[in-house]
A and B are shown apart, each in its own frame.
Chain A
């Protein structure tokens, strides 16, 4: 009897422990929403989301420039990350001489492991002057941010895409080649479309990571509050908005930053849920 009670007890304890991640999520959501939602109620969601001026000292809290900034930086990062990432994934999967794999794989793992402050620092010291001198503008711009962010999300895209490609049944490739297609044609028209859902999942995860990046972006983007009008303009993302002003904010300003966090939270949840749905569908 005693044994059964003990077993039941352990099972219930484990059930509680298992809910810890949900609990933490709920805590995070409740605190962030608790501070941010009342603020959105107060000044009106339309004014908040579509206002173009962020001037807390005057009580103006429009985050549209930040939303646009996040969007542009992420878009630029994907522009760099998807072709490069897909190419590397295909390379690793199909075309590697063993020596090249031995070099490329550790390189990708390292890229994933490097802390974002180091990326930001490198961008600041190497990339920004280059952009300023050869492309114009202050150098601290969406362009520089996109390049760095692209390299930061590269490992995510590569590893998941590669796994999707590898998971395809060999008959796909054999079939393509048997029909007389060249290697490349097989890859491009058979394998990649077949692995589409995995690749798209990797892209969405990469996007999630890109939107959530803070430190490197604070260092490279320049953080101007105006709506950006070109890739060489400085801009601010939702994350850097919080990161830069959090320490200094109080009262309305702080609540506005939490509200920004709420919006960020929503966006990431939507992105992540779609990635989860897609990858579940691809079958595990």
Chain B
């Protein structure tokens, strides 16, 4: 209407006024636009900008909420810490990892714990090893890679020439990538010809591995995390999941939130955060697990909860011993009849009613799940305990259905796939093969293309055995990779002396660590996303960690170090696969001939998918949630619906229920050492705190404490925060008392995170006779007050 002129001059007053107004408004601008046109154009453009901006996804701060941490690109990866193996999205900015977020599409549904969150910082904390170091005149000095590796190769060769291949060893880690553990195993067993390949999984998972292998014929749990969502009774035994597997614990809580009558039973001498949320907490006396589970089995028999079909078709019974003796169900019944709840109550220190209640809940739930970890695995009778928990499931048929499974949780991000599956332990070979079996050795020699007889028939040294051999001088050279045995081994002082005697090569991302101080050569290693590789967590899920940034200084990936060492030891031809992709392909194809078949998990799938659960024989196979179940597991024979199981790990397809009796504690209590010491973890720190101890945000999280029961504390005159000395037959440590109902009377607890107050000085190096895993949960100690909370010497 701009520029409208009224033709009728004799208009009435209202029109005239309008014209007047119009007249003043419609002054022509020099550009040919009237003021109105200009305003209208501006308004239109503005609204057009807003609308088109929003439609085109215009991400200005005015229009869309912004990220606080600027990120250039997001990449799919996996957490560096525990065996939960949470998927995460990793944000990179200017060539640095700056942010991580839980991956919504992974099994953890976007959740991470505090350690997971702080993955963003671990690459940039202090003390990263950046240059190779060589010990000269007692002190470590910087060296070139060539110098350091030449020295390592020379010393290894000399030792092999003078003392045989068994005088050298590899001590690895459940934190190395699968490719790295696989290559190390191959280099030492098929190249050098020694089975001295072991590692920290021996301190962690060996008992579960021995348990699964002896019960099912093959290692690794048969269930998956998804079973938590279907379980009606969840038994956590020897697991403080709330602190040690927080994301799995959240999933347990989710189940309880969704279905509040889900019954949670916790077996633990400590009143952990996990136990506090339980419906039933059995605070048994340490080392009495075998009695408790036998009492459960007794109750199953007594109350008619035994699954007859399981007994008739899928199970057999064996008395533990060398050699194991076959038993009948009747003999089994007789055996467990000795373990009445009343008798067990006297041994375990819990009420008989509580035992009956737990057994009833477990047997009669629609689906019962058990979760366990170090509390079960790090015991003198750890393999026995593992077997008996599995027996509870087998006998009641609580297995192979959604929600029903015996599930062991791993402590490290790649103890399962990297070490157990690749057979990187002293007594194993890849894919569930055993060193002791000639057929298995021959198969591996063929697969690896080495002459028959190259793989030694003699199993190597297990962790404690290895460091004992160093003490004796039987092992002269040892390559330690990605772990910190000087802090994590029991009876630390003894094995530190052994390390001093040995030519110790330590490849680690950090220096100094407790172990590098005994090293003759320190090799700087890349950490987490500074290198690429495959991890596998508790539920047999293989997943990929991508390389996103460059390692600091001259640090190299552990795979590169191993390949270099192979070349220098004249084993270059054996280690043909030299990149993460090539090694994975070799390993994947090798698995096809085994019961671990994951040939279908190609590198492309790992890059695309959120990990895949093996068995997975073909590229179009989605992965297996429940092993040994016909119809679900591609390797299981039988008709789905008709045949419930095919325990194909056993020649006769039957799983084993083992008969075990209770044995006495190996470090017996005495008037001088009346208390039992167990060690463990807190949520915020991880293992020897080599990484988490250096993250600034975690500096103030207390780790130097001794949990004790108020009754014991009162008896000993100890108050909250007092300086106390924990003393054992081996050594003593000073800590701060934390007094309350954290542990049952008679038990004290400390973390093994602290290098300053190293609790492993006091821990006895007892090992499980079957798995050779040390018992960190049951040492005899005495505690005395050293000073009040005000004195600051601790």
Binding between chains A and B? no
Residues of B within 8 A of A (CB): none
